[in-house]
Structure formats: structure tokens, C-alpha cells
Amino acid sequence: MNRIKIEKKYQIALNDLISSLRDSGFLNDYNVENAFRNIPRHEFVQTSELDRAYYNEPLSIMKNQTISQPGVVSRMTEWLDIKNGQKILEIGTGSAWQTAILSYLAGTGTVYSVERHPELVKFARENLEKFKLDNTHVILGDGSLGYPQASPYDRIIITAACTEIPLPLLEQLSENGLIIAPVGDSSQSLVLLKKTSGGIVKIKNESHYVFVPLLGKFGKKV
């Protein structure tokens, strides 16, 4: 991985963001904090949004999509409990900021990330290239189908709202694997599920999140 030197103004803003996420209980894991420090968010936003890169807010990228809010990224990443060497599937690459954080935590593992907009696939690949994260693969396609070619996955994260978790994704999760997704209509709950030998078990959930919709065959119809 290529370490990027962070300019002082961004470093101050990043420190403030980390303190406020810690104070509000959205950042508790030292490894996730390290990922936030090593994968600076301003490298994943559009130039017009640079001044707001460390606000705890989603920001527009392109194609009417958003880079997720830092507090949501820290919450989902912490719940996923990623271990070195794991194979991870992400649905909804967007800017690839979350992808890069997953890649950092997976270490010797691999991250597959599926995005439906070609423009965002290009943007995501360019952003990842700056860090030389060679354990990531960004794939153009309908993520509601998952990515069966590399399954099963130890962890799956869906970064767009689904009314129910697409069945192909549950099928592509390994036994003892975890999957996290925002589930609901206009407002969603973050839901963390585990696949056990006896079936799918809910581990925890938290309400009042709002994501852009997951489109596609097993998502909202385009």
C-alpha cells in the first residue's frame, strides 16, 4: 500500500472528525480508526467538495450518488469485524472510500466491489490507484446478483438500501460469515446477519439510516 502524506489542513479536520465520531460512539475500534487515518477521505471526493471532505455528511460524487457519511462507514465497518486475510464482497463501490477501508483491514485478504455505473467504476479505480491497493477488484455489474465467481465470502457489505437482502448475496456468504445492509423503504435499519449451519441469524440492527436505493434484478426495479 502507498502511504499518502496528508496536508496539515486535512489532518486537523480528520483529527476533529475522529474525535467527534469517538465522542458520539460511532468509532470505537482502534483498527478502524487507523484505517480512517491511512485512507484519507479527501482523496475520494470531487474537487468541488474538498472543503467538506471531513464533515460527517454524505457528499455528492456523480450520477446522483454519494460517498457515504463517515459515521455510517465507521459503524458498518466496525460491525463487520474484519480480520486479516478475509475475502470481502462490497455492493455499491461509489467513490471506493469504503472499499479502500475494507482493503486496509483485510490486509492479505481480497476485496471485490461491484458498481453499476461505468463512470463510478472509473472514478473508483482512479481513487484506489493512488494508494496502490492491489488486493481490490472493482467490477462493473448488477451487484444485486452478487459476484458468484469469487464466492463464498467471509464478509458482505451492501452500501445501498434494499427492501430485503438479495437472496444471491445470502447464498454467496460462507458459513459463519457476516453480512451487513441497510434494509427498509424511505428510512432503513442497518442489519447485521450471520450465516450459521442452522440458517441465517440476526446479530443486531439499528434504525434511522437513509441510503440511495439498491437497483437491479434483486433490488429496486430501474
* Binding of residue 212 to ligand SAM (CB under 6 A): yes
68 is annotated as an active-site residue:
yes
Query: Which member of 144, 155, 180, 193 binds ligand SAM (CB under 6 A)?
Result: 144
Instruction: Report CA 74 to chain centroid distance, whole Å.
Output: 9
Residue 26 or 97: the one with the smaller Cβ distance to ligand SAM is 97
Cell numbers placing 133 = 491497493
Beta bridge mates, 87: 110
Residue 63 or 194: the one with the smaller Cβ distance to ligand SAM is 63
Residue 142 or 154: the one with the smaller Cβ distance to ligand SAM is 142
Point out the catalytic residue in the list 24, 48, 60, 68: 68
Phi, psi of 59 (to 5 degrees): -130, 150
CA torsion sign for 143, 150, 190, 192 is: positive
* Binding of residue 182 to ligand SAM (CB under 6 A): no
* Binding of residue 40 to ligand SAM (CB under 6 A): no
* Binding of residue 142 to ligand SAM (CB under 6 A): yes
Non-local CB neighbours of 48 within 8 Å, separated by 6+ positions: none
Binding mask 96-115 for ligand SAM (x = CB under 6 A): -xx---------------xx
* Binding of residue 215 to ligand SAM (CB under 6 A): yes
| Contact yes or no for 180/80 (Cβ under 8 A) | yes
* Binding of residue 216 to ligand SAM (CB under 6 A): yes
Strand order in the sheet with 136-140: 136-140, 110-115, 87-91, 153-158, 173-184, 188-196, 199-209
> What number of other Cβ atoms are within 10 A of residue 115's Cβ?
29
Closest residue to ligand SAM, judged by C-beta, is 92
Residue 71 or 176: the one with the smaller Cβ distance to ligand SAM is 71
Phi, psi of 203 (to 5 degrees): -95, -50
Give the residue numbers marked as catalytic: 68
The binding site for ligand SAM (CB under 6 A) comprises: 65-68, 91-92, 94-95, 97-98, 114-117, 120, 142-144, 159-160, 211-212, 214-216, 219
